[in-house]
Structures are given as C-alpha cells and as structure tokens.
Amino acid sequence: MLSCIEWFGADRCMFESNFPVDKGSYSFNNGWNAFKRMTAQASPDERKALFGSTASKVYRL
C-alpha cells in the first residue's frame, strides 16, 4: 500500500473498509488502526487526504 501511495500520491489514494463482510477476518478497529500505523510518518495533509478528502473529492460528497 505504501508503494501505491508513494507512486500515485495521497491525493489519488484512499483507504476503505469492507465491513461488515470482513468482520470474520479482523475487527473494524484493527483494520483502521493498521491504516493509522501505516501512515504514521505521513504529513497531516497526506493523512487527511487518505482518510477522507480524496474520497470526498472523487465521490463529490
């Protein structure tokens, strides 16, 4: 995932969840905590994009 974010940039990437379908594989909290830990070194603007603003832009929310 980090390679994709590096190649395409945070303004073209976003995190998503497939809950509740994935509930049998891992907990919701574990999934989102993994995303947060993965982006711990990212700037606040990059994290904002990955966790919401890119999706808002793409889906015109």
Q: In this structure, what token pair is assigned to residue 61?
A: 């929310």
Separation of alpha carbons 50 and 41, rounded Å: 13
pLDDT at 44: 97
Domain count, the chain: 1
Give pTM, 2 decimals: 0.83
pLDDT at 18: 87
- Give how far Cα 22 sits from Cα of 18, 48, 56, 61, Å: 6, 24, 23, 25
Q: What digits encode the pLDDT tens for the residues 12-48?
A: 999 988 888 888 899 999 999 999 999 999 999 999 9
Range of the domain at 13: 2-58
Q: In this structure, what token pair is assigned to residue 10?
A: 């945070």
